[in-house]
Amino acid sequence: MTRLFRRLPPWLALLLPAIVILLVVVLVPLLLSLYSSFTPYRLTRPESLYKWIGEYNYVKVATDANFWMAFGRTVFLLTVALNLEMLLGLGLALLVNKVTWGQRGLRTIMMFPMMFSPILVGFQFKFIFNDNVGLVNNALQSLGITDQAIAWLVDGKLAMFSIIFAEVWMSTSVFAILILAGLFAIPRDPLEAAKVDGCTPWQSFRHISLPFLMPFIYIAMAIRSLDVARAYDIVQIMTNGGPARRTELLWTLIGRTGYVDAKMGLANAMGYISIFLAIFFTVYFFRKLNASRTALGYNA
Amino acid sequence: MDINQQHRLKKYGLKAAHLITLFVAMSIICLPGLWIVLNSFRPTVEIMAKPPIWIPEKLSFDHYRAMFGGVGEGGVPVVRYFMNSLIISVTSTIIAILIGIAGGYAFARYRFRGKSAIFVGFMVTRAVPGVALSLPLFIVFAKVGIIDTHFGLILAYVAMNVPFSIWLIDGFFRQVPRELAEAAEIDGCTRWQAFWKVEFPVAKAGIASAAIFAFLTSWNEYALASQLTRSVFSKTMPVGLLDFTSEFTINWGGMCALAVLMIIPALILTFIVQKHLISGLTFGGIKG
């Protein structure tokens, strides 16, 4: 055993523990779930694991309107949330970057939402958007803007808005922090040269700062893409997919099908589709990251 | 109005706008958290009051007392949950960081075929949504009999934290100049000695922040924990939060108190780690 270990190239020996644990805890279970997605497996009937039904589950998923609605909603949520997070993060970073006094403190406050557990964020905003005792309704009523309680989490559209608000609140800081790091690293010379040559602030931002910031934005995107399914915790707590499936996402649907309805096979088929969605996001942003790195000439 | 005055006015206007926007942004970031802290000290009557009571009339530790009290008094086994969270997070962090040091060092110092493919492959395993992974893990763990144990959750969290730790630690080792270790080897150190005596001390602070980050990830995780734990023997605090909910009502005050208990360690650790975390991520990402 030891001799075998020594004969491996050093890099492989060093990577081996990581490979082993990822194989055992992620890859093998995923293969099992791939298999079980071809069976009618139910938790209540273990013997159903050995019955092969081919692509039946996938056909069932593909023709299920609820599934496609959830799929569309997930993509919608991710698109809106990620874009908002990026824009707000950029704005926040620029605001903080201009501050000359107390910047360190502001940076710490900015990181505040990052340390909140997603499930805590869910409960927090469930409380804040609560129609009866929530902060938002209390404030609106005390200010006399409305005299009725607005049912933030009961109306479908408002519930989606509340969820996106919570998601953006939680994750904007990832972008803000990394973009701020990028702003610190921008070389001063080109900016000053541009000023001397008569560029407007917008022009020098658009043509000098922004291209320089792109790799940092892509790092933030790549980090976020590793964790896109965090929104599951928030949605699970705030609305649990309700009202009447108006905020049902792929992940809550999988959880419900697998654990509440106990249809593991079917849930695994859905799970695979969500996994491919996540892998697509991750690979896409890592490639973007590589490309922008090469463009900046950082290829070591 | 002369042009000088106009310019000055514009300058002050911009400055005021900047400060106001900054203030609003920071309030939106802070208020939700402060709202939770405030409500953990308010009696339930005041939380539920209609019309709302804005200025707290009475602050008390009732929710905290109830939480640490017996199960019969509406208490929740918080101490157990806290210990479970602590044991699971600390153990999984230590293991993940050891594996991460080995892996990160390999990525930072060796050249081999398919390096970037392996790297992205690692990252992809991290991207698998928790719910989707929890289904097969639940089946496997149930078969092996490690559901509702610390061991099972630790195993899952190690796998969850390894890819990201490798990314961070890789970044920190890259910041250590290669020449340092080479010089030590020329002076007669073995590669192993060169690593422990030269490279590791330089990257130590960075590795510590990778550890804190891994700790926070396990500390805050819910999707896997909610399925792989069943009872007080292994439930972690994020899952414990649900104990304050019942079919139709939620004990907001009690929940806020547990939330505060959860945030405090995270707050302290994040404060310590903030500087290194950013540099690790950007170095690992930019100068790949």
**CA of B182, closest CA in chain A: separation in Å?**
16
Q: Which chain A residues touch B131 with a CB distance below 8 Å? A: 229, 232, 251-252, 254-255, 258, 271, 274
Only one residue has tokens 């404030």, namely A139
What is the pLDDT at residue B103? 93
Residue B173 sits at the chain A interface (C-beta within 8 Å): no
Contact between A175 and A217 under an 8 Å Cβ cutoff? The reply is yes
Question: Residue B181 carries which side chain, given as an amino acid letter?
Answer: A
Q: How many cross-chain Cβ pairs, A to B, lie less than 8 Å apart?
A: 269
The closest of A39, A6, A97, A216 to B283, measured between CA atoms, is A216
Indicate the range of A32-41, A215-224, B267-276 predicted with least confidence: B267-276
Could you give the 3-state DSSP secondary structure of residue B245? strand
Q: What is the mean pLDDT of chain A?
A: 85
Residue A267 sits at the chain B interface (C-beta within 8 Å): yes
Q: Which chain A residues touch B158 with a CB distance below 8 Å? A: 21, 25
Indicate the range of A29-38, A41-50, A262-271, B100-109 predicted with least confidence: A41-50
Q: Which of the two residues, A246 and B157, has the higher pLDDT score? A: B157
For a pLDDT cut of 90, what percent of chain B falls above it?
16
Confidence of residue B61 (pLDDT cuts 50, 70, 90): confident
What is the pLDDT at residue A299? 45
Q: Which domains does chain B have, with CATH numbers?
A: 3-67 (no CATH), 76-286 (1.10.3720.10)
Residue B47 sits at the chain A interface (C-beta within 8 Å): yes
Residue A123 located in a structural domain: yes
User: Using CA atoms, how far apart are residues A264 and A254, in angstroms rounded to an integer?
Assistant: 9
Could you give the 3-state DSSP secondary structure of residue A45? strand
A4 pLDDT higher than 70: no
Tell me the residue range of the domain where A96 lies.
69-295
C-alpha distances out from residue A9 to A5, A16, A18, B113, B114, Å: 9, 11, 15, 12, 14
Close Cβ partners of A35 (under 8 Å, ≥ 6 residues apart): none
Residue B107: both structure tokens together: 């990525």
Only one residue has tokens 């990181």, namely A111
Q: Give the mean pLDDT of B234-261.
A: 84
Indicate the range of A4-18, A27-41, B112-126 predicted with least confidence: A4-18
B53 pLDDT higher than 80: no
A39 pLDDT higher than 80: yes
Considering only alpha carbons, which residue of chain B is nearest residue A216? B282
C-alpha distances out from residue A179 to A94, A210, A218, A219, B35, Å: 9, 10, 10, 9, 28
B72 pLDDT higher than 70: no
Total domains in the fold of chain A: 1
Residue B239 dihedral angles phi and psi, to the nearest 5°:
-70, -35
The closest of B231, B207, B213 to B157, measured between CA atoms, is B213
Considering only alpha carbons, which residue of chain A is nearest residue B100? A18
Q: Which of the two residues, A46 and B241, has the higher pLDDT score? A: B241
CATH number at residue A272: 1.10.3720.10
**Residue A284's CB: how many other CB atoms inside 10 A?**
13
Q: Which chain B residues touch A300 with a CB distance below 8 Å? A: 174, 287-288
Q: Per-residue pLDDT tens for A105-152? A: 888 888 888 888 888 899 889 888 888 788 888 888 888 777 777 888
Residue B221 dihedral angles phi and psi, to the nearest 5°:
-70, 140
Q: What is the ipTM of this complex?
A: 0.85
Q: Which chain B residues touch A14 with a CB distance below 8 Å? A: 102-103, 105-106, 110
**Model-level pTM?**
0.87
Residue A96 located in a structural domain: yes
